[in-house]
Structure formats: structure tokens, C-alpha cells
Amino acid sequence: MTPRTDTDAATPGWRIGVLYSRSGVTGTTESQHFFGTVLAVEEINALGGVLGRPLEPVVYDPRSDAEEYRRLAARLLLDDEVNVIFGGCTSHCRKAMLPVVERSNALLWYASVYEGFEYSPNVIYTGAAPNQGSMQLAAYLIQHCGKRIFLVGADYIYPRETNRIMRDTVEEHGGEILDETYLPLGCDEGEIIDVVRDIRRIKPDVVFSTLIGDDAQRFYRRYHAACEADPGAPHIPIASLTMAESEVAEIGPALCAGHITAATYFNTVDSPANAHFLDLWRARFGDRPASVYAEACYSQVHLFARALQRAGSLDTRKLVQAVHQVGFDAPGGRLTILAENNHSVLTPRIGLCRADGRFDIVWASGEPVKPDPYLTAFGLDEFWLA
């Protein structure tokens, strides 16, 4: 992030905490979170900051470790006297920070797709809830791929809860879950090979993967190698809520062609806001692809700046009240926060990966979808895709 100059020193800044991993199993994904945050902070500061004061990030790398997330959140809140944190990727890391944040009555901004079934007055959830991706993906898979589905995921709360939603939804609509298996984070290569072998043996219509980070990348590579070794077999796509452009670039785009992702943003979105975002992104980061992880963090920092402009204070109560009254024309569509649950109104999309690593958007919601993190309107009727 751009350092302040001596001429800026007389103007006190707004100190914010930034906790995203640049290393570890989710380093690729969280680096996108970090870069999106950097881009927004630098853009806001270049325009004069908020109320004439720059945003001043205090940055740490939790290394994809839940305990490190908890420790560094406490350090930010207690030692660095920060009251607002942008951070977290996996649900077990978010839940590690949550008690610390709530005890300090601080405010956490969380930008990852997650399993839902949570609310905290001290968290602003800007990632997708289950009714903003999971349900639409289930409908798409049943309609376009088939009803025989294989589930594979990492062994922690997000994959297990997301797979539970997928299982209930598929079975309610006449589908069948052929297998459901979980691998530990940082699993052995042999465990991935065994899962790929099971998929090739069972021959589902589609695989739904909730593996994350480096493990997911290794799974896609092994899966492609197995398909290459059996060229006469039918193409069985992998569907995901997390395999974005940044992960595809690490795997190798050609290895991901034909696979499916549901997300609230792809960098192929055609809008003036996305064109502006991508111009800034390329000028700052070159050929590195932008993904939903970068876009969500870029957008939430801008939304925070608008709320801070209105509140004039980092006080949690005042900030949250202000957040409910502002919006931002984000690259993925208009972003607002629902006052009743602190979750974001977002536009779900489904993309088909191309050989160049970008996604053809094969379906998009006609309008932004209100978050329903507890799935009070469970069922596919409203998600059935034309």
C-alpha cells in the first residue's frame, strides 16, 4: 500500500485492520482479498480520503491459520487500537475472530461466500449467503448436468454445511447424492488420487467440490490428468462456489475448461463499474486476473468509506447504522446491506470456465437478490432457472 508522505503526517488518518493471508493453504484466494483491499484504499486516498483524512491500514498475515487469526485480531483491537477489521476467508477463521471482535464491540467486514446460519451485530457480511449462489447452482446442475451428484469437500464447517444444503436440495427434487467425502486441509496427494479414482469409477453426472485453496487446485489437476488418461469417457464437470479466475490461473486454465462456478462476480461482467475496476486493477497489478474475492473486498472498502463519510466516526454503532443507509455501484452490481441481518444484497451468476481462464456467464439473476442466510424460504421454486 502507498506510504504516506511527510506532508500528510499532520492529518490524522482512519486506522483500519487488514487480516488476509498471503501464505498457507488459502494464500491464493486471500491474496485476492488483500489486493482488492489495497486497490480500494489507494483509490479512496488518492481522491482525498474520507472527510479529508486518509485510510491507514494496519496489516498482518495470518498464514491461513485460525489461531493466528484469533491472535492477530486481538492484537489489532487491543495493542494497535483498531476498531474496524477487514479480514477472514474460511469460516473456521471467521469464527476464531468472532468472540474477540464481539468482546471489543468492534466491527469485522467479511467478504467470502459462506455457509450462512450466522448473524452478529459486529459483522458486515459482504460475501454470498446460500440463497445467493448455492441454491442457484443446485438448480442449474439438476437442469443442465443431471441428478446424480458426487460431493467432495474439505473437512470443516463451510464444506459440510454447504454440502448439507446441496444434499437436501437435490434429494428434495428427485436427485441422488452418490457419495460424500471429506479431506483434511493440506491433505496428502494420495487422498486426492483416491477421490478422483472413486469419481471415475462411480461416474456421476457432476461433481460438486467444496475443497478450497491449494487442495482444490491439486484436485483439479489430478482430475484433469485422470480424464486425459481416459479420453473415451464422457466429460463430467466439476461445479464449485469457490473456483474463481485466480485459482484457475494457478491450476492452468486449459485444465479447468468446461467446469462450472457460481459466484456474484466474474471479470467478464459487462458494466461501466467493472470496466473502471479492471482498468484500475490492470494498472496496479498487471496481468494478474481479478476474481470475486478481489471484487468483494474492493467493494466493501468503498461501502465502508461511504458509511464512514456519513457517520464521521469509527464507533461501531454509528458505523453500522450508516452502512444500512448507503450503497455502492460495485463491479458485480449494486451493493447494499440489509439492516435485518447485516448481509449484502448481491447478484448471483453462474459461469462456465473457458480455456483462457475466463468465464462465460451462462446465467445471471435478473435483479439483485436479498440475503436469506437462514434459508427461511428453502426450496428451489424461486431459483428454477429459465
Give the model's pLDDT for residue 203: 96
What residues does CATH 3.40.50.2300 cover in the chain?
14-128+270-345, 132-268+349-382
Q: Could you tell me the pLDDT band of residue 378, with boundaries at 50, 70 and 90?
A: low
- Looking at per-residue confidence, does 245 or 2 come out higher? 245
Q: Please tell us whether the domain made up of 132-268+349-382 is placed in CATH 3.40.309.10.
A: no
- Of 3.30.365.10, 3.40.50.2300, 3.20.20.70, 3.40.50.720, which CATH number belongs to 14-128+270-345? 3.40.50.2300
Please tell me the distance from the alpha carbon of residue 248 to that of residue 238, in angstroms, as a whole number: 13
Kindly list the distances between the CA atom of residue 360 and the CA atoms of 253, 259, 382, in Å, as whole numbers in the listed order: 13, 11, 23
Kindly list the distances between the CA atom of residue 23 and the CA atoms of 18, 64, 320, 336, in Å, as whole numbers in the listed order: 15, 7, 31, 31
State the cell numbers at 48. Answer: 482525498
In this prediction the pTM is 0.94
**Mean pLDDT, the chain, whole residue set:** 94
Q: Classify residue 178 as exposed, middle or buried by CB count within 10 Å of its CB (0-12, 13-18, 19+).
A: middle
Give the model confidence (pLDDT) of 129-186 as tens digits.
999 999 999 999 999 999 999 999 999 999 999 999 999 989 988 899 999 999 999 9
159: phi then psi, degrees, rounded to nearest 5: -65, -40
Tally the C-alpha atoms within 13 A of residue 170's C-alpha that lie toward its C-beta.
Answer: 28
